[in-house]
Structure 1
Amino acid sequence: MDQELAQIKQLQQKIALYEDMKAYEQLYGLLYPGLHRFACAFVKSRDTAQDIVSDVFIKLWQIRGRLMEIENLKVYLFTLARNFSYNYLTQQFKKVVLSLDEADPEVLISFDDPESLCISADAVGKIRLAIRQLPPQCRIIFQLVKEEGMKYKEVADVLHLSVLTVRNQVAIATRKIAALLPAGELRAAFKNIK
């Protein structure tokens, strides 16, 4: 994951200093899938989530001259996606009071990468079942940590939670998933879920 952060930092620099469109496109390709799943969990629409992520990257381009002031661009972009999702929901429903518990994290978990295919179909089914049974906030936190590779502090910053809450939610998710899998499958599953 440090390699990804280094790559993001390098792309951030190219965009900020040289207005490099290729770097901008590479950053988009790198972060779009996770941002899309994250926004989709809130707005419950893949098309709307796509629009939100597009808005996030438009905003990124608009502030490109100040990008070097941003310490962790990935956390910044996930925070923008969350805020844009909240704004969208507020505009749509005027009186929406949204909490993480109302988000639909089912769309967040993806087993489409080749490594995940090494896990038996039965294990994947059990993992999906366990993840669906997690409380919504727990599911979102689990996805950000395990799939997006974010650190607890980064997830806490994005979701306005304490690091302790994030750590506890990951532990809860891990225990619940572990309860449904034999030990060998569990090790393989968590090795292959980022």
Structure 2
Amino acid sequence: MNRKVLTGKIAHFHLFKKGDEKAFAFFFNLYYNQIVGFCAEFIKDRDKAKSIAQEAFLKLWLNREKVQKVNGIKAFLYTSAKSDCLNLFRHKKVVHKHINSSLRKREESLNIEVLNAINFDVVMLAELEELIEGSVNELPDKCKQVFKMRRVDFKKNKEIAAELNISIKAVEANMTRALKHLKNKLSDYLPATLFLTLLLVLKEWILI
């Protein structure tokens, strides 16, 4: 991770621990969209995902004294979000639209399996940050740019094609190339069911 970025995060972390609201806002702006995106991948409801993310940040603020390291903030937020997503499934409050019952059940079963398998350990996150950052930086420039616009900025293929003045098929080809490269790099480290999920979760360093 960029040393300047890390130094800034550590400085804000110390202020956050002391109850500084501006420092809290720094981490909110840094991680909020990531938490929303993570939840939306599972529960398929953007509004509920936002509610879960907001609740995670509220819990973080109330429990800030328990967070010991700067990377612990991200681990805390994702662990809280994971727990609330699982609770939604357990209480059958997740609504899937335009999807048949059989497929919905299989999808929910897989989502629950993946969520249960994820352990947002601080050390694991740090190791994956380094591994994914290095793997992404190995991609060709255009491929890397497309990947970041799709997975980090959540832009649609049509939007990416328009901005880069390339065809939608070219966008799809670059995404396929990027994901194949990353999957090969991470295959010895991650179970297959966690690969795409953790690419979504661990994307902050891709911006650097």
Give the TM-score range, shorter chain.
0.5 to 0.7
1:125 to 172, 182, 185: 172
Alignment of 1:103-182 (within 5 A): 109-111=151-153, 120-122=166-168, 123-128=170-175, 137-145=194-202, 147-149=203-205
Verify the 8 A CA contact 1:35 1:53 in the aligned structure 2: yes
Give the direction of change, closer, same or farther, for the CA distance of 1:72–1:40 in structure 2 (3 Å limit). same
Verify the 8 A CA contact 2:42 2:85 in the aligned structure 1: yes
Verify the 8 A CA contact 1:39 1:49 in the aligned structure 2: yes
Alignment of 1:40-51 (within 5 A): 40-51=40-51
Give the distance between the partners of 1:78 and 1:139, measured in 2 at CA. 16
Cα deviation code 1:4-58 (max 9, x no counterpart)? 44433322221211x1111111110111111111111111111111000001000
Give the distance between the partners of 2:29 and 2:200, measured in 1 at CA. 19
Give the distance between the partners of 1:119 and 1:24, measured in 2 at CA. 39
Give the direction of change, closer, same or farther, for the CA distance of 1:31–1:45 in structure 2 (3 Å limit). same
In the alignment of these two chains, the number of paired residues is 142
Corresponding residue number in structure 2 for 1:8 = 9
Corresponding residue number in structure 1 for 2:65 = 65
Verify the 8 A CA contact 1:16 1:66 in the aligned structure 2: no
TM-score for both structures, normalised by structure 2: 0.53
Give the direction of change, closer, same or farther, for the CA distance of 1:111–1:73 in structure 2 (3 Å limit). closer
Give the direction of change, closer, same or farther, for the CA distance of 1:37–1:121 in structure 2 (3 Å limit). farther
Corresponding residue number in structure 1 for 2:54 = 54
Corresponding residue number in structure 2 for 1:20 = 20
Corresponding residue number in structure 2 for 1:33 = 33
SS in 1 for 2:34: helix
Alpha-carbon shift at residue 118 of structure 1 (Å): 5.2
Equivalent residue letter for 2:42? F
Alpha-carbon shift at residue 75 of structure 1 (Å): 2.4
Give the direction of change, closer, same or farther, for the CA distance of 1:121–1:144 in structure 2 (3 Å limit). farther
Give the direction of change, closer, same or farther, for the CA distance of 1:6–1:77 in structure 2 (3 Å limit). farther
Verify the 8 A CA contact 2:13 2:70 in the aligned structure 1: no
Equivalent residue letter for 2:173? K
Percent of residue pairs identical:
20
RMSD of Structure 2 on Structure 1 (CA): 3.7
Alpha-carbon shift at residue 193 of structure 1 (Å): 7.3
Give the distance between the partners of 1:24 and 1:124, measured in 2 at CA. 36
SS in 1 for 2:60: helix
